[in-house]
Structure 1
Amino acid sequence: MKTPTFLIGFILCLAMGVNTYAQKEIPKVAGGNVYAVIVGISDYRNINDLSFADRDAEAFSEYIDITFPKARLVTLTNEQANSDTLLNALYDVLIDSDQGDTIIFYFSGHGDCESALVNQPGFLLTHDTPPHNYLIASLRIDDLKSMIASYVEGKESEVILFIDACRAGKLAERNTRGPSNTASLLLNLFDKEVLFLSCTPNQLSQEKSELNHGVFTYCLLKGLSGHADANHDNFLEVEELRRYLLDEVSEKTGRQQTPVTNGDPLKVVLMCPEMEKGLALTEKGNNKRFHRPAPFEQHPPSNAPDFSPNVDNLLRLSPEEVLKKFHQCLEKGNLIAPADDCANHYFQQYPSDSLHRKNKEKMLARLINELLRKSGEILLKYIYEGHSSILPADCGKAIKELRVARSLIPPGHFLYRTIASKQLFLHGLAQHYVASPDWQSAIDSLKESVEIEPSASYAYNELGIAASKLNEFQKAELYFDTAMALAPGWEFPEINLKNTKMIAEEKSHRRKNKSIISCGRVIFVKKGGYGNGSSWEQATDNLQEALLCAKPGSEIWVAFGKYFTTKDSNRTKSFVIPGGMKVYGGFAGYESSKEQRDVLKNLTILSGEIGQPTKDDNAYTVIYTKNASNSTVVDGFVVMGGSAAGSASHNPLHHKGAGWFNDASNGNSSPIIRNCIFMYNIAREGAGLYNFASNGTCEPSIENCKFIRNLSEVDGGAVFNDGNNGICRPKFTNCLFEENEAAYGAGMFNRAEYGKAVPNLRNCVFVANVAYIRGSGVYNDLSVDSKGVCDAIMNGCRFENSRSSVGTEIRSRFRNFDFLQKELKPSGNY
């Protein structure tokens, strides 16, 4: 980026081409003060970058600085130009302006309409604008028009806009009509102001590397430096600048870009800078005044009418002290609470007489903007991560804040629509966070939300979710389609639409074919299959139905792909493996024998990833076995996505055994688990596998399995062997425990109060497991006065690179210990 001195020099060098320019006396600007908000964004956080928009803004700012040294100038570039910062800058300038002042708004960056649907709003995209759902963070064009109308009309102030926003270069997932539609909206809305637009609605504004600027701004700066002053009177009329831009921009773009102007042709808009003043500035160096909007100071008396008829003359604090506390509360985020020490409280306490009117207006603007920003943070979480990423308390707080914001402004205020729509959306969203959701109430609130703000794609997406909860699938599909049309490229509505269609088809299919599965000796399951499961050609894709149909001794062959515990959002559903059943994964979908399959090549995934695309509403347990005999076999699967995290509940399935809960309570459960991978499961205890032997015997055989990156909040990151009041004696052979985490026993946790927990491990490897407190590899939990037996029998096992805060603990009975010490010495444990 060039230095400010270079930018000044750029303007001055252009000006030197006008021979008589320095000889003329420059009249003073008619009217009052000059205010300018100048924005240029090349570096966008979430969408495609531009090359020279920030340079354009800095150069234009230099022009204002040279021409109007006393101008109030706010320049925002790149990360400075967030939506809330820009709004605050505009509020301050518009409120501060008085009779006869000149207000200049320059914007260089992306402009877009998100959807190709008719009557869609246009947006000037700020640094923090998301790649979809522009409503959440941007400068809406009709809001800009309303702001100007609200604060400038009646003052006879001059408003001049320079907009270089229809940039060439397709935005992600957008059709190129978006910028063009934005240009049309700008021309239609700003018909009373002076508007210089970089191109016509059917064109795109170009940047050129040889100019180091956008073409429009390059020519604009050249014209403002004197080249557009056709009659050499040092004043630029609208028509003079229009003709110059039309000729120069058209020439430099090969007639592909034609600037457009609105405004009285004879109106004087700006003046050319004085040459001698410019040279003096160059000698002094950097004289720029770039700054972000700061907390405002008290204004002198105004002749404007009172903001409010209620004037409190008995304030305990001076107006200056109240204003200071107001800003302190804004910085702390104390917007509406505590009641006697929050921004809203100090706003109400600030006097409303004519002396303090402008400050009162700006306090209101800042407070409203901040209240909206808080709800915007929740909406950003929603569009990126789904409803499960939002804390219920945050949602409730945002609803209260928007209620206050709504009470502070009249229904005719230009932000009332936005506030009301977001408040109603959050009311509907809040049904996700209550024990007994009222989905019809959610639909009612969300319908009101989209009636107020028809472009709110996030509200349509939530409408689809609520409708699907009530099995109103046709309505849900319509809502999801609308959300996709309003926000192209947003993946959530598309995912939700696919899931809704699958659920609707499945329910319809089941109604028509109640006994579709052929319960033969082998049932074939394959993704996309619609048959009865009698062969690969007639495979079914419904693994749950196959498990319900199969008889003891029969087999289920499952081809590669991902199979979910449910197609709805019921977290309690699992793949229940009946005793005596043999279930094999890893097939390609054509094999005639189990020996032909390749479990590593044909990954067959059993997943708890249901609901929203986040883990918090996944199935509690992916696989469940109850009193399964040793003739029960599960072979060749990846078990992932179970989420049984959170506080302990009465139902152990809700906080234990997210991958597999093997239940031997009051019986015997000893299945064979072979060639399986347990990964990315989360639970309070036993995230990968939980062997439960309460008043029973639990002796599963786990062979050639891997437990990778499972996480338990408390005990047993990979495996928890629970022998309380029972016998838990699992056998692990050739198993890998890698990068699992827990507070105690990251690899394995064994417990036996009044029972036995004696796992037998042969040739197992524990690598890089992390215990936050103790037992990164294996932790045996047995109190001093316990009558149980808790031990781990290990043959040829190895522990590497595991760690815990207190030290790796393996309180076990080792066989062949001398051999272990010699050949397989634990290494890197700490």
Structure 2
Amino acid sequence: MKQSIFFVLLFLPFFIHAQQKGVTPIGGSIAASGTAHALVIGISDYQDAGIPSLKYAHIDAGEFANFLQSKAGGALMEDQIQMVTNEQATAANIYAKLDWLLEVAGENDRVIIYFSGHGDVETATSRNRGFLLAHDTPPTNYRIGALRVNDLNDILADLVEVNKAKVLLITDACRSGKLAGGGEGATATATALSEQFKNQIKIMSCQPDEFSLEGEQWGGGRGVFSYHLIDGLTGMADVDGNAEIQLFELDKYLKDKVPQETDFQQFPILAGPPKSSLSKVDAGELAALVEKRNAEMPMLASVNSKGRGDEILAAADSTVQQLYDEFVAALDEQYFLPIDINENRKKGKSASELYDILSVENSLQALHSNMKRNFVVALQDESQKSINAYLKADPTEMNERWKNFGAKYKSNPAYLGKAASLLGKSHYLYKRLISKKYYYEGLLLRLEGQKTNNISLFDLALEKEKLALQYDGEAAYIYNEMGMVYKELFKANKEKNNNQTLADSLYKMQILLFEKASGFSPKWVTPYTNRAGLYLINDEYEKSADLCNIALSLDSTQIGLKWYMGNIHQERKEYKLAEDYYKQVIAVDPAFNPDVYNNLGLVYFETGRYSLAEKMYLKSVEMDSMFFLAYKNLGLLYYISKNYKKSTSANLKCIAIDAEDSMPYFNIACVASLQGKGKDAVSWLEKAMEKGFKKYSWIKEDDDLLNARSTDAYREFEKKYFMDN
């Protein structure tokens, strides 16, 4: 959070003249015709530790510079913009850049000045001179190393009256309670800046005694006001749809967005002619912005509390201070709820218990909102990170589901439920938090069902995901998870009932849900991957390949897709392409799964490279000692290579893994017969029949069984099993 005051003074069309040196209004809009010159300053890092750092001031400045290069911002060229941030933004350099503006600005030119950083007054005296602090401003003597508000006003006046230019000034100036102005400095700074520019159109990010917030939830790290200011000017504020942003539209947009997203801690102030034109909307830029914002997941993030929080705590008694310190420590240690007690934290109160005490402490009333916000952020942090990583198909996140069965998600439902209860039902994030709570409950049930082979859990998981959709019907990840649940129900039906009508219904439901997920998040790879996998197991190779190619065009690093492509080319007997894809998978993740080595072994086997095939099969069983198919393939390979001892050993391993599969018994019978052990071969054939072997023609005609068929034991076997066949 940017603590204390965050001003934006915007000189707009139709200025009222100041009492001393007036500023001529900008005609038209920011994007009006004519030569433009811009100075953009953003300072987060200050040279002296006595001036607290900000987090995102330099980023806000960079985003404003990007806006100026957009069509809505006037399409300025790089040589029209001078941008200085952090260590470049010394007092000398800032003044030099202002001199540059005085040199280059001509009649009817547009001059745009943007400042984001600390603003302060040196002391809370009756004169209250205002300063915008440079990177190298000394914290105890602003006058010798800061930009004076008086100087800035004089420069603006010269630009207007001497150069005959049109001026736009934005100051995004925040001050901390630790600066020289002291405890009343925030209000004093607001007054100083306001007086310098009174009687002119003003836009301020918040009231003088409010916090101006910054955090990760706004564009990954921005000031809330700057974030929505640029969005609004780009076209989000275009209420009447006339492709022009006027002051009254921006006023409504900011007052809708900023208070709601700051728990009503921050209220912008806009004053001036309501129909003043600010920017022209470009349809393409607006469409791109809307798509980008729709793809972002609304969230809370922690806010900075520099200076002001310290002052409030200093006024509280020592017991309260100790409890507050314990609360902060509990958040850092993720000791959120009493259920979180572990070996590292067996004593003391949880953050929830401490919050309940501190939230009714009158001496901390000014911090209550921030405490609640930071607690809510901490409660949903891990679940939000997991969802974000899942939406990026992050391999580590995918492995958490595939291999760890979601162990790290266990507490997420309780955390999200607590976060929702803290915010209350009227909060704009309440429904989304409840939706995520049900989503994680369903996900955990599905993963537990997979882990324990408990089919009943899948139905419970499905009910949870349906509840999640009731609270957020446009969450792509919920539709995708429902598809995953139906996938498990599909597999269970195949293994237990093999009801074809039900199988068809479950298959279609999976396709529908994964399509829904792609519809709500068209650039998310995972739903395409899931559909591609379905088409693959249903032998619809063209459809599978098409989806894999779409997904790979979105993210070429996804090895799961390359695994599918290897399967598709292998089924088409395009062995070289299959081999290339399998090798790509192994190169990225050698531990991807044992199947990739088994399949690559099959490719080598089909192309006559038996030694390489053996190496791949052995790698498969090294990774999974119960991998039935790999042992089965080894048995065949050793049989073809006439290594009968190893072939028998591999088939015996298959029987140890799955004694009900009849094929390994038949294979051992063939090997025994080839070794001249006809009676033993018949014994293995009898075991194969007992396990349901039905390939009678193989027994009667396979040349490998000639020795077996010449024995008396076989004739008895034949009477027993083939008299009626």
TM-score by structure 2 length? 0.42
Q: Which has the higher strand share?
A: 1
Q: Specify which structure has the bigger relative contact order, considering alpha-carbon pairs within 8 angstroms and separated by 6 or more residues.
A: 2
| Structure 1 or 2: more helix by fraction | 2
